[in-house]
Structure 1
Amino acid sequence: MPQITVDYSNSIQFDQEGFARDLHQAVVEIAAAKPEACKTLFRPSELTAFGYEDPLDFGHAVVHVTLGLLAGRTEDTRSKLTEAVLELLRKHIEDEGGGIVLHASAEVRDLDPSYRKFER
């Protein structure tokens, strides 16, 4: 914990390493997580569909960050964390200025009580 997943259009210039480092720091500071517990998985998508537009026009890009935390964080903590994620996305995704519309979003959710893990 926390389990962090970043789904994104691979058509964007995204500093994933810097984003993960800064995000882990924010999760530690805002949600009192342990640094060694922070794990982020990046999942690029080759195709992003938006409305009725031709996806091959690459006019839109999507980034969605999901943070799964153990239950017990206040709504205020969850909101602060979500806002921090959006600020970090602004910082670590280049504004290409080529007419691509970036749709960035984030959510913090509680991990299900059945959540378990192992390490080896």
Structure 2
Amino acid sequence: MPHLVIDYSDGLAGTVDVPALVAELHPLVVERVSSVGVGKTFARPSATYVDGVAAPFLHVEVGLLPGRPQSVKDALSEDVLALLDKHTSAAPGTTCSVEVRDLDASYRLFPTH
């Protein structure tokens, strides 16, 4: 049931195939964390700056229900970064980052699946 949020520079549209990235990212995350729920992915283009200068950037946030060991989250971070590197090869100079985190205890889903 991972939640994936992809924030990327609007200038990467047309260079990075976001639907293809999602098509690979979602099953990668589900497999690595042994998820059994339905994953949700949000992809949001926006103006992006690095040190105050417009620059290509792609960030993925993975929200998981608590309970996975840190080693699983660390390995997932590395796998996601490798995938981002693959998908940004046509956009040299793109900064990529990933954060794998536990969803807060207040998380709720409706309707449940």
TM norm structure 2: 0.87
Show the counterpart of 2:82.
87
Show the counterpart of 1:31.
33
| Larger radius of gyration between Structure 1 and Structure 2 | 1
**Deviating runs (4+, > 3 A) in structure 1?**
none
Q: Residue 114 of structure 1: CA displacement?
A: 0.8
Verify: 1:110 aligned to 2:102, yes or no. yes
Show the counterpart of 2:71.
76
Residue 22 of structure 1 aligns to a residue whose secondary structure is: helix
Show the counterpart of 1:18.
20
Q: Partner amino acid for 1:74?
A: P
- 8 Å CA contact 2:6–2:43 kept in 1: the answer is yes
Q: Partner amino acid for 1:79?
A: D
User: C-alpha root-mean-square deviation of aligned residues, in Å?
Assistant: 1.7
Gaps of 5+ in 2: none
Show the counterpart of 2:48.
48
Q: Residue 52 of structure 1: CA displacement?
A: 4.3
TM norm structure 1: 0.82
Gaps of 5+ in 1: none
Distance 1:51 1:73, change over 3 A: same
The alignment of Structure 1 onto Structure 2 pairs a total of residues equal to 110
Q: Residue 15 of structure 1: CA displacement?
A: 1.5
Q: Residue 92 of structure 1: CA displacement?
A: 1.8
